[in-house]
Amino acid sequence: MFLQKTPYKGARDFYPEDKRIQDYIFSIWRQVASSYGYEEYDAPIIEPLELYTAKTSEEIVDQQTYVFEDRGGRKVTLRPEMTPTVSRMVAARRQELAYPLRLFSIPNLWRYERPQKGRMREHWQLNVDLFGVDNIAGDHEIIQLADQIMQKFGAQRDMYTIRLNSRELINHITKNILGLDEAKSQEVIRQIDKKDKIDAFGFDKSIKELIGDKTDKLLGLLGCPEITNLPDELKDLPAVKRLHKLEMMLARDEIVNAKFDITLMRGFDYYTDIVFEIYDNNPDNNRSLFGGGRYDGLVGKFGVEPLPTAGFGMGDVTTKEFLDCHGLMPQLDTRVDLGVILIGDVYQQASSIIKELRNGGLSVAVDATDKSIDKKIKSADKSGYKNVLFIGEQEIAEQKYKLKDLKTSQEDLLTIEKILGKIKFKDN
């Protein structure tokens, strides 16, 4: 029996061409987050399990964590999300840190899910979180930043929708309007969260099983397409007024694809007010791309003074699918500038020339194998190098080298100085 060549189920190997895509995605994430004044942090991939049992999503803790016991008998898990970790870090330095505090990171996360389109067991997730802003400007900044990332990727407004809702409004509906207790209210929220995954009949039936004769009232409210369609008793709620104000602020930014969606829940228990999710409008990829919201209670869970917080998480898998689906993924070539093909036994004599090329700023890959020149050229082409340089005894003696453009097959006999100028010029 040979060893398996495939990676662990639901995780990916990253060959250079995959890594280039990931680097591209990360670079846009970093650029936009940095442009809003966010600074990068990091943390260990292993956390104590209790960090998640305190306040996250039951589904994640019970079914999706990679839990194990370390050699000291402690229950630990590979982090399934970053929000509890960043809250822990901020709580640990609650007094020393300056607010508003803007943090971002790109951790790899592990969730024991059934691998499928858009869902893996390991994924990388941009986390952008703003600590210490308790008013609507905080929610606005976070959503505007999320939108700016989509714009930087080249997305047009009609390619995606930003769905907005308020957890406070939903809690008001379940507790005050329907009169449900905390446990029932959570069950109803979880059921609404699954709404898109079940058919309308199945959904109505499941709600009826939970709340009986209050079903019609809830379904009526869930059918409200706009904030202005809500009954007056809800329109006057501060939470609804905030949401309405946010909608108007986004419209003023020309973010015209932001829409109220009363059925948007976001799975986590820690969200306290405005939540949002970005959806792909492409019928072939009609799914949630990423999301987040306000979670004012999490930092306080660590026994320090509570801190208003809003943020979001955006995965690399859904981002890549969006870019592929809309033809937005750029051509990402190898970063090797030049393949050097040695002719004859010149490895040692060629080394100072190659050094000069590298010192001149080029990325140079040398083929010093005994293969035929033809095979070396083919291999350079297969590696994606655009240019090859031939170095043999004659070239070394004359200090001029043949540079071949593998795309156009054009050949030039040039000095090192000219080669450096030509390749750098082409790249810029």
- Residues near ligand HAM (CB under 6 A) are 81, 83, 111, 113, 119-120, 123, 125, 127, 129, 288-292, 311-315, 317-318
Report in angstroms how near the CB of residue 199 gets to ligand HAM at its nearest: 23
For the chain, give the number of residues: 428
Long-range contacts of 377-386 (CB under 8 A, 24+ apart): 377/341, 377/404, 377/406, 380/339, 380/341, 380/406, 381/406, 383/334, 383/336, 383/339, 384/333, 384/334, 384/336, 385/334, 385/336, 385/337, 385/338, 385/339, 386/333, 386/337
Comparing CB distances to ligand HAM, the nearer of 86 and 362 is 86
The answer to whether the Cα torsion of 66, 69, 70, 75 is positive or negative is positive
Residues contacting 188, CB < 8 A, separation 6+: 174, 178, 180, 207, 210, 211, 218
Number of alpha carbons in the 13 Å side-chain half-sphere of residue 35: 12
CB of 245 to ligand HAM, least distance (A): 21
> Which residue, among 116, 147, 152, has the nearest Cα to 321 in the 3D structure?
116
Q: How far is the CB of 351 from ligand HAM (least distance, A)?
A: 46
Q: How far is the CB of 407 from ligand HAM (least distance, A)?
A: 36
Closer CB to ligand HAM, 257 or 319, in the complex: 319
Distance CA 271, CA 287 (A): 21
Between residues 257 and 387, which has the closer beta carbon with respect to ligand HAM?
257
User: 170 vs 419, which CB is nearer to ligand HAM?
Assistant: 170
Which residue(s) pair with 160 in the sheet? 280
Rounded to 10 deg, the angle between the 200-211 and 215-222 helix axes is 140
Q: Is 128 within 8 Å of 311 (Cβ atoms)?
A: yes
How many Å apart are CA 257 and CA 71, to the nearest integer?
A: 51
| Two structure tokens written together for 221 | 């409210």
- Minimum CB separation from ligand HAM for residue 145, in Å? 12
Q: Name which of 128 and 250 has its Cβ closer to ligand HAM.
A: 128
3-class secondary-structure state, position 39: strand
3-state DSSP helix/strand/coil percent for the chain, to nearest 5? 45, 20, 35
Q: Which helix (H) or strand (E) holds 412?
A: strand 411-414
Q: Is 274 or 314 the residue whose CB approaches ligand HAM more closely?
A: 314
**Phi/psi-derived region of residue 361, left when phi > 0, alpha when psi is between -120 and 50, beta in every other case:** left
Tell me how far, at minimum, the Cβ of 242 lies from ligand HAM, in Å: 18
Cβ nearer to ligand HAM, comparing 189 with 357: 189
The answer to whether the CB of 147 falls within 8 A of the CB of 163 is: no
Tell the smallest beta-carbon distance from residue 323 to ligand HAM (Å): 13
> Nearest distance from residue 142's CB to ligand HAM, in Å?
8
Q: Pick between residue 123 and residue 163 the one whose CB is nearest to ligand HAM.
A: 123
Least separation in angstroms between CB 56 and ligand HAM: 8
Minimum Å distance from CB 167 to ligand HAM?
Answer: 12
Q: Which residue is nearest to ligand HAM (CB)?
A: 315
Instruction: State which residue, 8 or 347, has the beta carbon closest to ligand HAM.
Output: 8
DSSP code per residue over 76-131:
EEE-S-SHHHHHHHHHHTTTTS-SSEEEEE--EEE-----BTTB-SEEEEEEEEEE
Which CB sits closer to ligand HAM, 292 or 308?
A: 292
Question: Which is closer to ligand HAM, CB of 123 or CB of 140?
Answer: 123
Q: How far is the CB of 317 from ligand HAM (least distance, A)?
A: 4
